[in-house]
Amino acid sequence: MSMKIPFFNYKQSKESFRYMEGHTPEHIAIIMDGNGRWARKRGLPRVAGHKEGISAVVKIVKAAVKCKVKILTLYTFSTENWKRPKTEVDVILRLPKEFLQVYLPELISNNVRIEAIGDMGKLPAHTREAIQYAIDRTRDNDGLQLNFALNYGSRNEILHAIKEMYADINEAKLSLDELDEQKFSKYLYTEGLPEPDLLIRTGGEKRLSNFLLWQLAYTEFWFTDVLWPDFSEKEFLHALEEYRQRKRRYGGI
């Protein structure tokens, strides 16, 4: 399946992207679910669904840029995904490189900055190198920050943070008396990022699947039955419209 579809050079009515910055979530996180089921429905191997899912990534990054979203975090590969067949894992971990080989120049020209969160050390060299190259090339961009969550698991992240924090306490860099939520958050992979305003999960499931458990404490959730390869700009805008109508009270009245 060809990945070479237009990225930013498309015609879209201004009315479709009428959301003002004040109504748009600053940080959107997405659990991209349903690739395998999309393929199975068409009598295709599961890997075909993962490759088709790249088209949805292109559409949604494009839409996020148009809507002036500041941060988009995509759950790309979880710590649990290693349990899948090796052939499927190998394909998934090649997709970031394939995506960036095609679209990195356009991402750069549109001021997108690439970052990654997760335990990158356990990923194949080709995946790490492709992501690091993109991070280096886009470091000075200040538009949409596109985060790939790779080999990411929230429980693993929290345990890693506790170990790092414990080491700092032992070295007298931190005391228990000064420890609070804000200081703990600095030990997470998402250090320096605002917590997501909106979580989108495609594919019909209604669970977090070990994704950003600490960070999603006050996030608005939006679930859809649409499988990820079929997730469109229209669905994305629908999620934003529902978010715009919600009242976020953070425990208050």
C-beta separation of 50 from 32 below 8 A:
no
**What are the binding residues for Mg(2+)?**
33, 220
Long-range contacts of 238-245 (CB under 8 A, 24+ apart): 239/198, 239/200, 240/19, 240/23, 240/24, 240/25, 240/67, 240/198, 241/19, 243/25, 243/197, 243/198, 244/19, 244/23, 244/24
Q: Give the percent of the chain with pLDDT over 90.
A: 86
What pLDDT is attached to residue 249? 75
Q: Give strand ranges (E) for the chain.
A: 27-31, 71-78, 113-117, 145-152, 198-201, 220-223
Cα–Cα nearest to 207, from 79, 41, 31: 31
Residue 19 has pLDDT above 50, yes or no: no
Catalytic residue among 9, 81, 147, 225: 81
Confidence of residue 23 (pLDDT cuts 50, 70, 90): confident
What pLDDT is attached to residue 93? 97
Q: What residue ranges define each of the domains in the chain, with the CATH number in brackets?
A: 21-153+195-245 (3.40.1180.10)
Instruction: State CA 248 to chain mean position distance.
Output: 22
Confidence of residue 250 (pLDDT cuts 50, 70, 90): confident
Express each pLDDT in 128-144 by its tens digit: 999 999 999 999 999 99
Backbone angles phi, psi at 100, to 5 degrees: -70, -35
Express each pLDDT in 188-200 by its tens digit: 999 999 999 999 9
Whole-prediction pTM value? 0.90
Whether 33 is catalytic: yes
Confidence of residue 247 (pLDDT cuts 50, 70, 90): confident
Residue 149, strand partner residues: 75, 117
Catalytic residue among 9, 33, 90, 136: 33
C-beta separation of 220 from 248 below 8 A:
yes
| CA–CA distance, 211 with 72 (Å, rounded to integer) | 14
**What are the binding residues for substrate?**
34-38, 46, 50, 78-80, 82, 84, 201, 207-209
Express each pLDDT in 161-196 by its tens digit: 999 999 999 999 999 999 999 999 999 999 999 999
Confidence of residue 5 (pLDDT cuts 50, 70, 90): very low
**Stretch 59-76: mean pLDDT, rounded?**
96
Residue 68 DSSP class: T
**What are the binding residues?**
33-38, 46, 50, 78-80, 82, 84, 201, 207-209, 220
How crowded is residue 89: how many other Cβ atoms within 10 Å of its Cβ?
15
The residue with greater pLDDT, 210 or 246, is: 210
Q: Which two tokens stand for residue 73?
A: 């975090």
Q: Which two tokens stand for residue 181?
A: 């939520």
